[in-house]
Amino acid sequence: MSTADVVTPTAAPRQRGRLRRLERPALAGVLVREIVNFSSYWRGTTFSSTVEPTIYLVAFGFGFGSLVSQVNGFRYVEFVATGTVATAVLFSSVFPGMFSTFVKYQFQRTYDAILAAPVDTEELVTGEALWIAMRAGVYGNAPMLVAIIFGLDPSWGMLVVPLICFTAGYGWACFGISIAAFLKSIENFSYVTSAVITPLFLVAGTFFPIDQLPEWAQVAANLNPLYHTVQLVRDAVFVNWSVDDLGHFGAIVAFGLLAWRVAIFGMQRKLID
């Protein structure tokens, strides 16, 4: 077919490769695939992740803000702006985790191709989650930056917000991948969205503080990683650190680790017969 050498197989067997877990070249391969793909859709993603928080800010910040001027000692628009950072992280990581994983597995069969290469399920899941977390680490800042335009005072604490977004995003990405791994059809995703994600999103101290809720709801909020993210972001932006923040950060790290292992277990079951 061609005059070029198709392949020149190595005569001597290559050096016996060692078996290791989470190899850097494997993770790099998964990430490169995502980065190259991102070059074809970044405009849409960037548009929606900046326009959406702006709408939230304008609607809640000014709509509600005219009724409620102060919440927990903050201007309401600032309270909402910091809360919206956490929801932006949630949406930009849990939905890609759920939908793109399912589409790549079920419809595009991308994972069949990747797993035929020297990449195992653990590396595949970790690479995908890292990529989504990196995006969340960037796009999560959008509401904060928009809020600065609306009068939020810049602070040094804002510099750690990307780290918070990345860490929380990693957990939510793995949570989303787990959903994709355990549910049989994409139609069932709406159960998860309505019954799990919407309550998590509302009872996290994003739009209203949780200390006015009944006690059981306050206890429940402590189990919500989004609540801890909201608290961390607020304490960072208003430079209002306390020992509690170690607990909040510990909670999102623990959530990330747990969701990561569950996602790997689920995908292994789904991808390897």
Partner 1 sequence: MSNAIELRGAVKRYGPITAVDGLDLDVPDGTCVGLLGPNGAGKSTTMKLLTAQAIADEGTLSVLGYKLPEESKVARAECGVVPQLDNLDTSLTVEQNLLVFAYLYRVPRRDRREAIERALEIAHLTERRTAKVDELSGGMRRRLLVARALVHKPRLVLLDEPTVGLDPQVRQQLWALIDRLRTEGVSILMSTHYIEEAERLADTVVIMSHGRAVATGPPSALVREHTGGEAVEVYGPPARLAEVESEARASGIQTRRTGTSITLLNVNGDAPGAADGERRPANLEDVFVLLTGEEIA
Binding site for partner 1 (CB under 8 A): 1-2, 4-10, 13-14, 16-19, 25-26, 28-30, 32-33, 36-37, 40-41, 108-110, 112-120, 271-273
Tokens read off for 264: 């790997």
Q: Which amino acid is at 39?
A: S
Which residue, 44 or 214, has its beta carbon nearer to partner 1?
A: 44
Q: Name the minimum Å distance from CB 186 to partner 1.
A: 18
- Report the chain's terminal Cα–Cα distance, integer Å: 37
Distance CA 88, CA 84 (A): 6
Which residue, 85 or 114, has its beta carbon nearer to partner 1?
A: 114
Q: Name the minimum Å distance from CB 166 to partner 1.
A: 23
Which residue, 112 or 244, has its beta carbon nearer to partner 1?
A: 112
Q: Name the minimum Å distance from CB 33 to partner 1.
A: 5
Which residue, 105 or 238, has its beta carbon nearer to partner 1?
A: 105
3 state DSSP class of 75: strand
Q: Name the minimum Å distance from CB 167 to partner 1.
A: 26
Phi, then psi, of 70 in degrees rounded to 5: -125, 135
Closest listed residue to residue 86, CA positions, set 171, 20, 16, 4: 171
Q: Name the minimum Å distance from CB 141 to partner 1.
A: 27
Distance CA 31, CA 119 (A): 12
Which residue, 108 or 242, has its beta carbon nearer to partner 1?
A: 108
Distance CA 100, CA 105 (A): 8
